[in-house]
Amino acid sequence: MATSVIDKKESGESVSDPAHLYTAHVPADCWPIVYSPIYNISFLGMEKLHPFDAGKWGRVVNYLKEAGMINDETIVVPREAEEQDLLLVHTKRYINSLKYSLVVASITEVPPVAFLPNFIVQRKVLRPFRLQTGGTVMAGKLAVDRGWAINVGGGFHHCSADKGGGFCAYADISISIKFLFQHVEGISKAMIVDLDAHQGNGHERDFMDDDRVYILDVYNRSIYPGDNYAKRAIRCRQELEIGTSDDVYLGTVQRSLQRALYEFTPDIIIYNGGTDILDGDPLGALSVSPQGIIERDRLVFATARSRHIPLLMVTSGGYQKRTARIIADSVLNLRSCGLIGREGDTVELMKGGCLEMEPSAERLCARTLNG
């Protein structure tokens, strides 16, 4: 079975302990990759009623298993975020509003959910979101301990303390940062690098006027949510045109990262790596190739790893079936580049070769690695 966090009764922790989402120990042979099969939403065909691929997380893990990178023994299974965890960011009023199926239907943009009894909605719809939220919290601690971590789910960047939307029911990024600030020594400044195609208005509203959190957001200016108030919280903002492709996109990301890290020195980076930038995505409306996504992820990891800044990645949006394969290919490429590994793997991994890049992208990555 997969490596799970320790049982509360065995650990002696109180159920109300706000740090209970952190495991006491993850074996060295485990990858700091967090996933639970419960992440996937498959209920009465609901997964077919929204463009979001609500089963992509499981397919990412299956591809990584097929490639021989991970197995059920070497991944970390999170705990479900409970109400006291959610209240670290969310208002009690918002949490109570989720007891109404109509509210959840609006957040998930799946109207039939409004007609389901709420106990079913809690179990079949919201529980996967709570597991993914717990996964982002757990991955934050793993990133500090191991230098990097990936939550195969998460990235619900449209949800804020008092409002959900855009298929985002819980503010996992904000909650993870608050957990780190409160419970991990030495973590007092965080940078959010949001490279999903959509503006991350949820965490932007949560950290408005909070100098401890620097937000870099690169997004399509012409699509949802268009939250002008939330834009005030973005300290490095890049608005893209519809159809932006690899060269312009990667150059924008590279320059933005350099500027952000010149202006701010974080103790951790939270990377929202949405794949809805992919050419053909019905909601993202950008034109980045699969190779462009792989290069983007490598660029972010190379930048953080070369500066010894812990990096937490969440996978966020992506509305095509092929995105699961691209995410898995990107993770495999990060391993081939020596940018990720288990404890003790680094020397061996650095002997491998990165996925071949176009010359311009190779120069871009080299400049980033060299600072």
Model confidence pLDDT, tens digit, residues 215-229:
999 999 999 999 999
User: Which structure tokens are listed for 308?
Assistant: 């010894």
Nearest to 275 by CA among 196, 166, 203: 196
Dihedral sign for Cα atoms in the order 341, 10, 135, 60: positive
Mean pLDDT of all residues in 271-279: 98
Q: Give the pLDDT confidence score for residue 44 in this predicted structure.
A: 58
Q: Give the pLDDT confidence score for residue 11 in this predicted structure.
A: 34
Mean pLDDT of all residues in 20-33: 88
**Catalytic site residue from 20, 90, 158, 198:** 158
* 12, pLDDT greater than 70: no
Phi and psi at 306, nearest 5°, equal -65, -25
Q: Give the pLDDT confidence score for residue 351 in this predicted structure.
A: 38
Least reliable range by pLDDT among 51-65, 148-162, 291-305: 51-65
Q: Residue 365 is which amino acid?
A: C
Say which CATH topology domain 28-36+48-369 has.
Arginase; Chain A (3.40.800)
Cis preceding-peptide flag for 78 (omega within 30 of 0): no
* 262, pLDDT greater than 60: yes
Q: Give the pLDDT confidence score for residue 46 in this predicted structure.
A: 58
Average model confidence (pLDDT) across the chain: 88
Mean pLDDT of all residues in 319-329: 95
Answer for the pair 256, 236: CB distance below 8 angstroms, yes or no.
yes
Q: Give the pLDDT confidence score for residue 1 in this predicted structure.
A: 41
Q: Give the pLDDT confidence score for residue 361 in this predicted structure.
A: 39
Where does the pLDDT of residue 47 fall: very low under 50, low under 70, confident under 90, or very high at 90 and above? low
Mean pLDDT of all residues in 347-356: 45
Mean pLDDT of all residues in 10-15: 35
In the chain, % of residues over pLDDT 90: 79
pLDDT in tens, 72-95: 999 999 999 999 999 999 999 999
CA count, 13 A, side-chain hemisphere, 183: 21
pLDDT in tens, 99-133: 999 999 999 998 999 999 999 999 999 999 999 99
158 as an active site residue: the answer is yes
Q: Give the pLDDT confidence score for residue 55 in this predicted structure.
A: 80
Mean pLDDT of all residues in 157-172: 98
Answer for the pair 21, 85: CB distance below 8 angstroms, yes or no.
yes
Strand partners, 270: 192, 312
Nearest to 194 by CA among 160, 237, 240: 237
Cβ neighbours of residue 1 closer than 8 Å, sequence gap 6 or more? 72, 73
